[in-house]
Amino acid sequence: MALGSDSRHGMWSSRWLFVLAAAGSAVGLGNIWKFPYITGENGGGAFVLIYLVCVALVGIPIMMSEVMIGRQGRSSPIHTMRKLADKAKRSRKWTFIGWMGVLAGFIILSYYAVIAGWALKYIWITGSGSFQQATPELATSTFNDFLADPWQLIFFQTVFMAATIWIVGKGVSKGLETAIRWFMPLLFILLIVLLGYSINSGGFAQGWAFMFDLKFDQVTPETWLIALGQAFFTLSLGMGTMMAYGAYVPDNANIGSTVVTIALLDTVVAVSAGLAIFPIVFANGLEAGQGPGLMFVTLPLAFGQLPLGAVFGTVFFVLVSFAAITSAISLTEPALAYLVEEYNAKRKRVAISLGVMCWALGLGTVLSFNIWSEFYVVGDLNIFGFLDYLSQNVMLPLGGLLIAVFAVWALPAAVREKQLGLRPGVVSIFWKIVGGIVAPLGVLAVFVYTLLPVFQRLVEMGASMLAS
């Protein structure tokens, strides 16, 4: 990152580097691991459509808002919000967005490191050739045995966390940019190879139908919340990451087209991952709704049958781990930039302290896959389920809602128009309607519809506990 005069942390040397970094943040486990498994859990077709609608009508306008606020403030999200609220003569309560983002990033990273650890482990086992001509039973039991062993999970979680802290502590380096430039296209090529395998696996028609045949009878109000949360999660929205990265965007870059490019890239990767995985599920009689293990049970089957599969498998899981690390780095940026600004703290020291705390919280997630799998925080959510639900389905959408309202309704019109390069006119009105009305109201409606009953249930549970 070339140092500029505008943001004290540096500036992206071009619009293209911002696209790379933002895509590096967006493309991660959310696309390759999470999207397929929650699509499977939510019945496929209709879920995918709702998710795409959320990306287009909520994700894109909110990402524009976030990047634009970041570029206007040119500091960490907390300071940016304080600065812009003061300037626009609004309440400083708006900095809540920044604080909640820091917390959300912390929670997400705690479990993200555990799952990324699984990918690290799979570099090793696919490479050793243990999946040569493997049966679905072998792939399933290999994964389950791994999950049952907390020490192994902790080992790989620790390796991933240490690598993240190390990179973050050093500051975003040239090396990372170069790596994103090479690894992202490579990941994409490997996804296409996997897709090629899936097309010939005998389950492609079924996999395709599963993803794209609209089955609206399976849609519940909660489907909307999960799809919305996924749109936020996969695009790295609602917690200040894009705001923090937006702070380093040069003034002359066009935010609208940049954001659309990033969202498209991210969506293409997610949909390709789904299309690679579901045919394997059906060709092998596996369970589409089996949950978080989906990718780790299906893809090794493909690598076990492809020529040079062990090599492909290893390279694939290296790339997935790399995609995860560029996302993990971005999860820490809002907190890190704040602490460095506020206390003039050393990046390295802050990174280590935050990382250790986050690692400790991650132990809860590790144990939810074995010893504590039946320890429920609320309802049927164990520790991992709860942290995931809270961050993805509550904190990110709430953050996004507030960001959109702030960008469109609290910032002076002149700032908005300067940032987005919109002259007063049709496009500006369109942006105001989609970004300022459709997106926030959409989030609000989904919230009221799905979370209200959840709260009601909690209150009833509390009341009945008190009564007994």
Residue with tokens 């206390």: 343
Separation CA 111–CA 278 (nearest Å): 25
Tokens for 309, please give them. 């599969």
DSSP 409: I
Among 241, 267, 284, 450, binds ligand PHE (CB under 6 A): 241
Q: Are 387 and 109 contacting, i.e. CB atoms less than 8 angstroms apart? A: no
Tell me whether residue 142 or residue 157 sits nearer to ligand PHE (CB atom).
157
Strand ranges (E), 14-78: none
Among 1, 9, 30, 40, binds ligand PHE (CB under 6 A): 30
Window 309-338: residues binding ligand PHE (CB under 6 A): 327, 330-331
Separation CA 143–CA 119 (nearest Å): 11
Among 1, 108, 286, 299, binds ligand PHE (CB under 6 A): 108
Tell me whether residue 25 or residue 110 sits nearer to ligand PHE (CB atom).
25
Separation CA 237–CA 397 (nearest Å): 8
Tell me whether residue 194 or residue 231 sits nearer to ligand PHE (CB atom).
231
For residue 239, the minimal CB distance to ligand PHE (Å) is: 6
Strand partners for 376:
382
Separation CA 288–CA 38 (nearest Å): 9
Tell me whether residue 119 or residue 255 sits nearer to ligand PHE (CB atom).
119
- Each residue 419-458 as x (binds ligand PHE by CB under 6 A) or -, in order, gives ----------------------------------------
Window 389-408: residues binding ligand PHE (CB under 6 A): none
Among 31, 126, 198, 419, binds ligand PHE (CB under 6 A): 31
Window 154-173: residues binding ligand PHE (CB under 6 A): none
Q: Are 231 and 58 contacting, i.e. CB atoms less than 8 angstroms apart? A: yes
Tell me whether residue 249 or residue 331 sits nearer to ligand PHE (CB atom).
331
DSSP characters over 113-170:
HHHHHHHHHHHHHHHTTTTTT--HHHHHHHHHHHHT-HHHHHHHHHHHHHHHHHHHHH
For residue 182, the minimal CB distance to ligand PHE (Å) is: 19
For residue 344, the minimal CB distance to ligand PHE (Å) is: 25
Separation CA 286–CA 274 (nearest Å): 15
Tell me whether residue 293 or residue 400 sits nearer to ligand PHE (CB atom).
400
- Based on the shown chain and the rule CB under 6 A, indicate whether residue 233 belongs to the binding site for ligand PHE: yes
Separation CA 247–CA 7 (nearest Å): 7
Tell me whether residue 142 or residue 272 sits nearer to ligand PHE (CB atom).
272
Among 65, 201, 223, 236, binds ligand PHE (CB under 6 A): 236
For residue 323, the minimal CB distance to ligand PHE (Å) is: 7
Residue with tokens 């020490």: 151
SS3 sequence of 226-269? HHHHHHHHHCCCCCCHHHHHHCCCCCCCCHHHHHHHHHHHHHHH
Compute how many residues bind ligand PHE; rule: CB under 6 A: 15
Tokens for 372, please give them. 């504590």
- Among 11-19, 134-142, 233-241, 415-423, the segment contacting ligand PHE (CB under 6 A): 233-241
Among 9, 21, 28, 176, binds ligand PHE (CB under 6 A): 28
The span from the first CA to the last CA of the chain, in angstroms, equals 61
Binding site for ligand PHE (CB under 6 A): 25-26, 28-31, 108, 233-234, 236, 239, 241, 327, 330-331
